[in-house]
Structure 1
Amino acid sequence: MRSREQFHSELKELDNDIIRLAKRANKGLKESIDALFNQDINLAKNIVNDDKLIDKEEAAINDKVILLIAKQQPVATDLRRLIIALRIVTDIERMGDNAKNIAKSTIRLGSHYQTELPMELLTMRDTTLIMLETAISAFQNEDISVAQKLAEMDDKVDKLYKQVVTDMLSKTAINSEQIQYVMQIAFCARYIERFADHITNIGESILFLVKGEIVDLND
């Protein structure tokens, strides 16, 4: 009985680790766009360095999951929960990579470009952060109705991404000298869009955990 209680305690600790990692990724995305808009190169460099912490925490969680599987030899729902944990932390790590890539674009652009940034990037960022908070809530409560809301929010991010790319292409047509700026901003929009896609992956993982069914929220 004690072993079972300990196992559930370790599962709870694992959930808390995942939530902390998701919040670190949340911070990375928020600050990366702040750095871009404020031309804050030092902040961008800090974000690149902080991504290494996300990588280390992902590895630590993976090790913890593998150890639990080896010690407890779980089956059925318990095994599914641990496999889902591995999937979710992989998505969070890749979210961190996207925040890091935005920071790298900020560094490449430097602190002297004069062109006004598309405000849609802020809307994309804010919508994506709400998505992540929604995913965290769905994960904590194993609430599939909340997880399913991610699809609609992801559609909004996708539409904004397409709008930014279209606008950037029109700028290139008018002024070919802006191509470096256009490329980096289009990349940033893509990184936010990919960040959001990984959140929908987490939603799919939650649905699979609760219902045992594979659902595609990226359709």
Structure 2
Amino acid sequence: MAIRTTLDKDLDRLKELLVEMVNLSKTAVEKSVQSLAEQNIEMAEQIIKEDQKINELEEQVNNLIIQLIAQQQPVASDLRTIIAGLKISNDVERIGDLAVNIAKSVIHIGDGQLIKPIVDTPKMANMALNMLNNVIKAYIEKDIELAIETAKADDEVDELYGKIIKELLELMPSKPNSMNQISQLFFVCRNIERIADHTTNMSEHIIFMVKGKNVDLNA
């Protein structure tokens, strides 16, 4: 009984660390897109510095998982929870890295006049962030249906991504002196699209955690 109690406490701690990682990553994405819309270089630089906090949390998750496997006696369902936690932490850490990539693009763009209003890009980011909100809720509640619905929203992100890329491509012939900015806006949109992809991965890990089944929600 003592072993089970300790294991349950450690699994709760794993969940707490993952939720904290998601919240930090969400904030980083929100601020990175805000820094783009406002061309706020100082905010972008701060995002890059604060990424270390997410990396440190991932290390704590990894250390806890090693401890869980080495010292506890996880049954099959516990082991799935542990493995899913490891995979989710990796995806969340990557989302933090993608927010840093966006911040770096903001710094490269600088404070020069933007070639077009930044409207659809924050919209796409909000869609990806909504997915992230839903997927962590699905993780906490072990809600498979919500995980599946969250993954489906990736199609809408992809559609808007395609629309923005098309618009940027159409601007290139008439804006030959703005190729650096256009390239950086490409990168920003690609990074946001990847955030949605990682969130879809997290949905797959949740289904594995609950059902023990590997599914491909990107199909």
Query: Is the TM-score greater than 0.5?
Result: yes
Paired letter, 1:208: F
Shift of 1:109: 0.7
Q: Structure 2: which 5+ runs fail to align? A: none
Shift of 1:143: 0.3
Q: After superposition, what is the alpha-carbon deviation per residue over 1:51-80, rounded to whole angstroms, capped at 9, x for unaligned?
A: 111111111111111111100142311111
Q: After superposition, what is the alpha-carbon deviation per residue over 1:189-209, rounded to whole angstroms, capped at 9, x for unaligned?
A: 000000110000000000111
Shift of 1:215: 1.3
Alignment of 1:132-171 (within 5 A): 132-171=132-171
* Aligned position for 2:15: 15
Q: After superposition, what is the alpha-carbon deviation per residue over 1:65-110, rounded to whole angstroms, capped at 9, x for unaligned?
A: 1111100142311111111111000000000000000000000111
User: Using the alignment, how far apart are the partners of 1:161 and 1:114 within structure 2?
Assistant: 19
Percent identity between the two aligned chains: 37
Cα-Cα RMSD: 1.0
The 8 Å contact of residues 161 and 189 in structure 1, kept in 2 or not, is answered as yes
Q: Structure 1: which 5+ runs fail to align? A: none
* Aligned position for 1:207: 207
Paired letter, 2:166: T
The 8 Å contact of residues 51 and 97 in structure 1, kept in 2 or not, is answered as yes
Shift of 1:154: 0.6
Normalised by the length of structure 2, the TM-score is 0.97
Structure 1 residue ranges, 4+ long, deviating more than 4 angstroms after superposition: none
* Aligned position for 1:91: 91
The 8 Å contact of residues 25 and 99 in structure 2, kept in 1 or not, is answered as yes
* Aligned position for 1:75: 75
Paired letter, 2:201: N
User: Using the alignment, how far apart are the partners of 1:163 and 1:150 within structure 2?
Assistant: 21
The 8 Å contact of residues 150 and 217 in structure 1, kept in 2 or not, is answered as no
